[in-house]
């Protein structure tokens, strides 16, 4: 098959990691190209080709990319796999793929929620409402199937309920050969992700005041004002010797950080966190997880592989961390978590499920 993925690359995060790993696995058997908004030009990494198209205009963090749309129309493909949310670009990609009569699959990774500041911004509210109720809904009507990574996220989405007949539940995968277990549990907690307000990192930092753990924070500061606020908060709480900001860490170095902590924490506060790849990576390294009660992350942990806490509750995070270590079941939980990942979340298994979906849709198109 000739497969094209459409994904935004202003920053590297969970969605981009999903596309890279899926494309790498698919390229073992198929021709794969990624259409992105990162830079300008064409490149090939291993067997995956990249069409990189620089945005002509960006408004409210939404890129308008005529060259990307032209590339999709010019490229001969069997399947166009669009990754939401990528406002405007993903919507238009669905329309263009239908013009070319391609099979169209969408992975609905998460939903953009407005914080209090944005709710007060009338132009932003209008544009989001227009996008969700017209552009996004029209695009989802065009696609053949919608992949959602957890059943609980689908069941709590007002948008996805309109398209329940198209939804397929296929989770995210993890590279079980790269993320390998270490069943030792030092009193260290790990956060991995972009430094943005929706990740709820301030509540995690506040929780460290109540426990005798160190905290390691890996991630690129996307919101610099928020990052500076976190640095100031750490100083105010006299935690500079126990909270370690490591900045961006290359993907190749991630496993050793997971292997050298006691537990992974994901304190996210919005539906931008629809799954929690960092939780799976922690599981693969034999580490329990502490997550907030968002549908996706909570469905992974289910209190069997860690603890679920309310959003924005730093005291609950501190209590959960203490209980995990005091229960003395870290190795038992870690081995169960590793087994779960091997059985259900390896990329080879996830890729096969998505490939079967492609074949089903392509077969339907050819029959029609």
Residue 329 within any structural domain of the chain: yes
pLDDT of residue 125: 55
Residue 334 within any structural domain of the chain: yes
| CA distances to 190, 197, 255, 265 from 242, in Å | 12, 21, 21, 16
Residue-wise pLDDT tens digits, 350-362: 999 999 999 998 8
Q: Which of 60, 59, 41, 64 is nearest to 51 (CA)?
A: 41
Residue 313 within any structural domain of the chain: yes
| pLDDT bracket for residue 73 (50, 70, 90) | confident
Residue-wise pLDDT tens digits, 181-204: 999 999 999 999 989 898 999 999
Percent of the chain with pLDDT over 70: 88
Residue 180 within any structural domain of the chain: no
Q: Are residues 112 and 198 in the same domain?
A: no
For 273-300, what is the mean pLDDT?
A: 91
Residue 112 within any structural domain of the chain: yes
Residue-wise pLDDT tens digits, 105-143: 999 988 776 554 555 555 555 555 655 656 777 888 889
Residue-wise pLDDT tens digits, 209-222: 999 999 999 998 88
Task: Residue 80: give the domain boundaries.
Answer: 2-173+346-367
Q: Are residues 330 and 357 in the same domain?
A: no
For 4-15, what is the mean pLDDT?
A: 76
Peptide bond before residue 85 is cis, with ω within 30 degrees of 0:
yes
The whole-angstrom separation of Cα 88 and Cα 94 is 10
Q: Are residues 123 and 201 in the same domain?
A: no
Evaluate whether 365 touches 103 at the Cβ level (below 8 Å).
yes
pLDDT of residue 116: 46
Q: Are residues 225 and 359 in the same domain?
A: no
pLDDT of residue 159: 84
Q: Give strand pairing partners of 168.
A: 147
165 three-class SS? helix
Q: Which of 77, 76, 144 is nearest to 105 (CA)?
A: 144
CATH of the domain at 147: 3.40.50.2000
pLDDT of residue 71: 85
Q: Are residues 225 and 329 in the same domain?
A: yes
Q: Are residues 340 and 350 in the same domain?
A: no
Q: Are residues 298 and 350 in the same domain?
A: no
Residue-wise pLDDT tens digits, 225-284: 999 999 999 999 999 999 999 998 988 899 999 999 999 999 999 877 778 889 999 999
Q: CA Rg, the chain, in Å?
A: 21
pLDDT of residue 334: 94
Q: Are residues 153 and 97 in the same domain?
A: yes
Q: In what order do the strands lie in the sheet with 41-45?
A: 41-45, 48-52, 31-36, 2-7, 79-84, 103-108, 145-148, 167-169
For 15-23, what is the mean pLDDT?
A: 89
Residue 178 within any structural domain of the chain: no
Percent of the chain with pLDDT over 90: 50
- Fill in the DSSP letter of residue 164: G
Q: Are residues 206 and 311 in the same domain?
A: yes
pLDDT at 2 over 90: yes
Q: Are residues 148 and 210 in the same domain?
A: no
Q: Which of 202, 246, 239, 243 is nearest to 221 (CA)?
A: 246
The whole-angstrom separation of Cα 34 and Cα 42 is 10
| CA distances to 75, 106, 139, 144, 300 from 360, in Å | 22, 15, 20, 10, 28
* Total domains present in the chain: 2
Q: What is the chain's mean pLDDT, rounded?
A: 86
pLDDT of residue 10: 53
356 three-class SS? helix
pTM score, two decimals? Answer: 0.82
Q: Are residues 169 and 253 in the same domain?
A: no
At how many degrees (to 10) do helices 347-367 and 14-26 cross? 70
Q: Taking the CA atoms of 281, 271, 142 and 63 in sequence, report the sign of the dihedral they define.
A: negative
Residue 182 within any structural domain of the chain: no
pLDDT of residue 75: 86
Q: Are residues 287 and 313 in the same domain?
A: yes
């Amino acid at each position: 098959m000739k497969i094209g993925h459409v994904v935004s690359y202003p920053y590297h995060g969970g969605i981009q990691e999903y596309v890279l790993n899926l494309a790498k696995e698919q390229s073992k058997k198929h021709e794969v190209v990624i259409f992105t908004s990162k830079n300008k030009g064409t490149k090939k990494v291993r067997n995956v080709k990249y069409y990189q198209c620089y945005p002509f205009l960006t408004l409210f963090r939404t890129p308008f990319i005529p060259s990307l749309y032209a590339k999709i129309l010019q490229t001969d493909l069997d399947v166009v796999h669009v990754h939401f949310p990528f406002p405007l670009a993903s919507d238009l990609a669905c329309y263009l793929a239908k013009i070319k009569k391609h099979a169209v699959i969408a992975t609905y990774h998460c939903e953009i929620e407005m914080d209090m500041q944005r709710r007060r911004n009338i132009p932003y509210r209008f544009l989001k409402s227009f996008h969700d109720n017209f552009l996004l809904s029209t695009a989802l009507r065009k696609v053949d199937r919608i992949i959602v990574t957890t059943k609980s996220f689908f069941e709590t989405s007002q948008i996805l309920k309109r398209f329940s007949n198209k939804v397929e539940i296929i989770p995210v995968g993890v590279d079980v050969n790269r993320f390998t277990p270490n069943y030792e549990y030092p009193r260290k907690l790990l956060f991995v992700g972009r430094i943005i307000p929706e990740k709820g990192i301030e509540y995690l930092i506040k929780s460290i005041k109540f426990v005798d753990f160190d905290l390691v924070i890996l991630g690129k500061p996307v919101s610099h004002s928020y990052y500076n606020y976190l640095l100031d908060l750490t100083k105010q709480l006299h935690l500079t010797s126990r909270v370690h900001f490591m900045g961006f860490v290359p993907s190749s170095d991630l496993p050793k950080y997971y292997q050298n902590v006691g537990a992974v924490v994901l304190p996210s506060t919005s539906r931008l966190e629809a799954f929690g790849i960092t939780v799976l990576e922690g599981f693969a390294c034999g580490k329990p997880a502490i997550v907030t009660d968002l549908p996706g992350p909570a469905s992974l942990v289910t209190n069997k592989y860690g603890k679920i806490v309310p959003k924005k509750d730093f005291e609950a995070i501190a209590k959960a961390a203490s209980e995990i270590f005091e229960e003395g079941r870290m190795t038992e939980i870690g081995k169960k978590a590793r087994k779960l990942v091997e059985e259900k979340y390896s990329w080879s298994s996830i890729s096969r499920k998505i490939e079967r979906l492609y074949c089903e849709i392509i077969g339907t198109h050819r029959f029609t």
